[in-house]
Structure formats: structure tokens, C-alpha cells
Structure 1
Amino acid sequence: MTDPQLPPPSGAVPPVPTAPYGAVPPPPPGYQPAPPAAPPVYAAPAVAPPVYSAPTPAPQAAPPGAYQVPVGGYAAPAGAYAVPETTPRASGFLGLLALILALVAAVVTPIVVGVAGFEIGRRIPQGITTTNDDVLSVLSPARDQVLWAELSFWTGTLLGVAAIVMGIIAIRKKQGRGAGIGALVVAVLAPAIFFVVLLIAFSTGSAAGFVEFAS
């Protein structure tokens, strides 16, 4: 054992003083403590929603030697003729119907009144020169023919008025404009045709009645 008051012998390591229990030994000279690390920040990663797309069909390869159309089709050459766009044409049924009604009023009803007028003149030949004021008694021998003449007159009148109205509408709406104009002309001439045919038929029937009466 050595005396603690004596210097340590050469080559001997001085004893390290023992720190009391619980004390932190001092750092060695020149040691710098590291700065305290910041607590880690945890952020939830942004997850994008899955995008589902319809699978595109794979193009089928053309057989070898087949003619292939370029993608997008053929482009029209500059300055090529293009068909102009046309508006849908209006139907001409209304004008045609008006023309049919006018023809019936100008042709059919005069034929009916011509037959009836001839029979009226033949059955009452004295009706032209009679002085009797009672017209009904004079026309009584040809009651049926007079009724047919009246029916043909009113039928032609109604058909003519309808033809005029439809013709005007057809001209305004351009639904058979030419037929509508023709219907107006024929419907206006129909009354004149009716009375001319009636007068001729009645006169012819009266002449035939005079001949039969004289014989």
C-alpha cells in the first residue's frame, strides 16, 4: 500500500474518483452536446381514389393483303362539290284536295242538274209559257227531278265554298300552291257552269216535251 500523501510512482495511472451514486459524470473536455432532436411529425399519406376505366377493345388486325381505310376516314378534297342542305318540302295534299272538291262542284253537279233539268223540261213543257202563279203545282209532275236539282245545287255550293277556303289556306301555307290556285279558279267558275247547264238542259227538255205533246 502506498501512502496517499506521497506522489504516485512513475508510470502509475492515477485512480479515477468514484462518482456518487446517481450523479452524471461530467463530459470530457471539448465535447459539445448534440441539439435535441425535434419530435417526428407523422402525416397520413394522401391516397387518390382508384379510377376505373372501361377496357378499350383491341383493334383487330386486318388480314394480310386486305385494303385498309385510314384512321379518321377520307378527307374531302378542297373545292369539292357539296350537296346543299334543303329544307323539307311541305306536303301538297291540301291544295290537291281543294282542287278535287272544286272539280266535283264544277263537273259532277252540273251533270246531275243537266239530267234533272232535261226531265223537268220534258215533263212540264208548258212551264215556260204558263201564267200560273202556283209554282209548286206547275212543278208537281216532276217532283223527283226538282228535288235532285236542288240537292245538286246545294251540294255544289258547299263543295265550292270548301274548295275556296282550302285553296286559300294551301296558297298561304304553300301546301300545293299551284293546285290551290287552280281550285280557286274552278270553284269561282262552278256556279256559272251549273246555271248554264241547267238552262240548256231545261230548254232542250222543253223542246222535246213540245214535240211529244204536239204529236
Structure 2
Amino acid sequence: MTDPFVPPGLPPQGSAVPQGSPLPQGSPVPQGSAPWQVPPPGAYRVPVGGYQAAVGGYVAPTAPAPSRATGAVSLAAALIAALVTPVVAGVLALQIGLAVSVDDLVSGSGEFVIAALSPARIQTLWAEIMFWLGTALGLFGLIAGIIAVARRRGRGMGIAAIVIAALGPGIFFLAVTLMYGIGNGIAFDPLM
């Protein structure tokens, strides 16, 4: 008589252990344990210790490491945007501050008078060029940094580029404001 709850080919609980089992031959099947399945004849059995390492000269090919160029380019662009352009614009702002007073830039009603910058029009033009150059390089560094992080192509440099590019506008305006104020204080000091 067969037990309807035991699949065919498996011994009932309490009988001897089948051949190929991890238990020693001839020992009884423990009561309350789940029955194991004996693989069908000719089935492949996985080695007990797992698969061994490759034998001989064969080694599985490894994927080449992704290029870190994207991260490096984004970091270089962000550094130029956040360090070089503020320094150049700061020097130009110092020259503008030496030529143009704050009192000339603001009218009595509080409006900005752009004509007051005409004594330093070349420096003003170059300061504006530095602003737009820094903006373009900062945006490029930010976007390329995001791409480098997302595609794992120089992830650390990409993260640094994102942070530096985000800080760039603040560094630029701080440098220009301070240097203009210093130039204006030197040229138009009422105590001298």
C-alpha cells in the first residue's frame, strides 16, 4: 500500500535512507523531517563543496574597467569654473572699482546707472565674459559629473565636480564683490 502524501520514489518516514543521501547508509530517516527528493536516474548532481576553480589556463574573461575620463573632464571643467574664472573676474572687478565709484553707479532715486561704467568698459566686458564662461563651464561640469556618477565612469571625480560646480556661482560673486569693494575703497577713500 502506498502513502498518498509521499511522492513516488521516496521512502516513507522511518524507513532506511536511500542511496546518495547525505545521511549514512542504513540509518533510519528522522521522524518529523521533510522528505528529500532523490534525483531521477541520469540527473546531474551539484558537487557537495560547490564548483571548483577553473582548471588549467582558462580564466573567465573580465569586462574592461570603464574609462574615468568623463569624471576627469567634469572635474576639470568645474575647477576652472569655480577657481579660475572668479580669480580673473576678481582682478577685473578690482580695476573697475578703482575706476568707478559706487556713488556714480546708483542714482539719487536708487536706480542703477549703467553709463557710469564707461570709464572701465573694457574691464566690464571681460568681467561679463568671465561670468558667462564660468556659467557654461560650471553647467558642463555639473551635467558631466552627474553622467560620470550615473555611469560609474570616474564616480569620485564626478561627485567632486558636482559639489564644486554647485559652489562656483557663490565663489564667483563673492570674489567680484570683495574685489570691487577693495578697489573702490582704495580709489575713493574719503579719509585720504
**TM-score (normalised: structure 1):** 0.57
Is this contact kept in 1: 2:75–2:157, CA < 8 A? yes
Match of 1:117 in 2: 93
Q: 1:152 aligns with which of 130, 139, 161?
A: 130
Map 1:1-215 onto structure 2 (within 5 A).
86-127=62-103, 130-131=106-107, 133=111, 135-211=113-189, 215=192
Match of 1:31 in 2: none
**TM-score (normalised: structure 2):** 0.64
Say if 1:94 and 1:126 are closer, same or farther in 2 by CA, change over 3 A. Answer: closer
Is this contact kept in 2: 1:127–1:138, CA < 8 A? no
RMSD across aligned positions (CA): 2.5
Runs of 4+ in structure 1 off by over 4 angstroms are 82-85
What CA deviation, in whole Å up to 9, does each residue of 1:25-65 have, x standing for no partner? xxxxxxxxxxxxxxxxxxxxxxxxxxxxxxxxxxxxxxxxx
Is this contact kept in 1: 2:100–2:117, CA < 8 A? yes
d(CA) in 2 for partners of 1:93 and 1:179?
10
Calculate percent identity across the aligned residue pairs: 40
What CA deviation, in whole Å up to 9, does each residue of 1:57-105 have, x standing for no partner? xxxxxxxxxxxxxxxxxxxxx999x977542100000100000000000
Any unmatched runs of 5+ in structure 2?
A: 1-53
In our comparison, the structure showing a higher alpha carbon Rg is 1
Q: Which amino acid aligns with 1:204?
A: I
What CA deviation, in whole Å up to 9, does each residue of 1:146-176 have, x standing for no partner? 1111111111000011111111111111111
